[in-house]
Chain A
Amino acid sequence: MEDNFNPDNFEEFLQEQVGNQRMYPSDAVWRDINKKLHGEKRWPALTIAAFLLLSVTVGICVHFTPKSSIFLKPGLEPISISKQPVTSDDVLNKLTSSAPFANNNNNNNQVTSSAPNIGNTDEVAEQTTNSSITDPATVNIPNENIALEQKATSRSSSAYYTGRVENYSGKDEKLVLNKTETSLVQETVNEEGLIKSTVEEASPIAQITPPSRAIVSPGEFKKDYNDKNMVDEFLKDHKNDITLYTVTKPEDGEA
């Protein structure tokens, strides 16, 4: 079918044909327009991602630091014998721990704080400690077979000792002491498995003594050595000890 129209309709025809035509531009056109209107945003996503990654890393480092006992078997508590760094005093004290001196310690039921393995006691001391261990203190528990080593657990002078001590009393019995801040529970386990327990009111048994680093044996204080006479004084004081461990060089004929 044909439409007859005069030449004046030519403009109408063109407008009908192309007036409502649509074409879709590429995305680059809008990106360029947006960039010119608002400027270029430089990697906002990358900046945010880097910030989040840094935050997560710091959070993990702060909140998930591995414990110091991570390499121990479960159920085993570390036995803290001495947390003080080894100093020259420790070396000197160990040198003085000869047999007569150790016997003296056993007789007096005392263990020097810096010589933990002296004597024949089998005690295992557990401490409720905080991180601020300052000076060692000697604690005496009124039991003839128990000698307890303890370090001061706090700077406060009114600290109580809280701990658990096990010992074999020598008659097939196992003596267990549970000492808390308010009571002392003494349990005796005999060979048949029967348990006897005794509860006593606790007293501030662990009064912190002043720094006693010089105590090496009862009534005797270690001398302080200075730089000038250190060797001479040391040799003079430990003459007997050094003699015990001195090996004389054999003569040629004896070899």
Chain B
Amino acid sequence: MTEEYIIAGCLHNEPSAQRELYNRFSPKMLAVCYRFAQSREDAEDMLQEGFIKVFTQIHTFQNKGAFEGWIRRIVVHTCINFLKKYKKFNDSVDLANADYVYIKEETIPSIMQAKQVTECIRHLPIGYRTVLNLYAIEGYSHREIATMLDIEESTSRSQYTRAKSMLENILIKKNILEKPKAQFGWLAGVKK
């Protein structure tokens, strides 16, 4: 079933086309949600809300970009709204006051490298994690992040710098990254 056929079916509210679209994109989108969420249950709730928005707003898709990118943006916005809605930011470290957070690297499970990196990201404070996910992985600019999270653009930059530093330390301790040599800076190598 081609992507155009799926979109046409979803526009006619056909359950089979909707199921096909869900089967095709839900694994990637759940991974996105999982990086933002505190738990898998939260991630599935985010995914559910995100796909309901996809199916109800699919008539706004104008074929200007990739369909997957359009779904991904909806899911990311849903995750941000979910965190704001349930005030997850207040439960953890505030975006502006996370300078002296200590992460216990031993709590991060030793699994495959890709999943290990994900788990390392998820162990960051929620403010750091959100900015890191949006900037480094999803590709949003600091201005867009500031708009989405209702913070200053400079705050987004500083939070990203701190999040990046903290994640690098975690990855080095987990032997996923190697400490860089002096002539190239301290972050210079990736262990394969």
Contacts and interface: CB of A to CB of B under 8 A. Distances in A.
Interface of A: 1-7, 10-11, 13-15, 17-26, 28-30, 32-34, 36-38
Interface in B161-192: 164, 168, 178, 180-181, 184-185, 187-192
Interface stretch (B13-21, B97-105, B143-151): B13-21
Chain B binding surface, main DSSP class: helix
A30 B19 CA distance: 8
A199 B40 CA distance: 99
B67 to A, nearest CB: 17
9 residue pairs, one from A and one from B, having the closest CB atoms: A22-B27, A2-B189, A21-B31, A17-B117, A23-B30, A11-B136, A23-B31, A3-B190, A14-B136
Nearest to B116: A17
Interface in B6-55: 13, 15, 18-19, 22, 26-28, 30-31, 34-35, 43-44, 47-48, 51-52, 55
A28 B189 CA distance: 42
A5 B13 CA distance: 48
15 contacts: A5-B188, A10-B164, A10-B168, A10-B187, A15-B136, A17-B117, A18-B35, A22-B31, A24-B26, A25-B26, A25-B44, A26-B44, A34-B15, A34-B19, A38-B13
Contacts of B114: 17-18, 21
Contacts of A4: 180-181, 184, 188-189
Contact of B189 (A3, A10, A24): A3
Contacts of A33: 18, 22, 48, 51-52, 55
A10 B30 contact: no
Interface residues of B, number: 43
Contacts of A37: 13, 15, 18, 52, 55-56
B1 interface: no
B66 interface: no
B57 interface: no
Contact of B118 (A11, A18, A26, A38): A18
Interface of B: 13, 15, 18-19, 22, 26-28, 30-31, 34-35, 43-44, 47-48, 51-52, 55-56, 113-115, 117-118, 121, 132, 135-137, 164, 168, 178, 180-181, 184-185, 187-192
A29 B47 contact: yes
Interface centre among B19, B48, B178, B180 (most CB of A within 10 A): B48
A11 B160 CA distance: 11
Given A21-B28, A23-B43, 10 more contacts: A5-B188, A6-B185, A10-B164, A18-B137, A21-B115, A22-B31, A25-B26, A29-B48, A30-B22, A34-B15
A228 B40 CA distance: 98
A37 B189 CA distance: 49
Contacts of B26: 24-25, 29-30
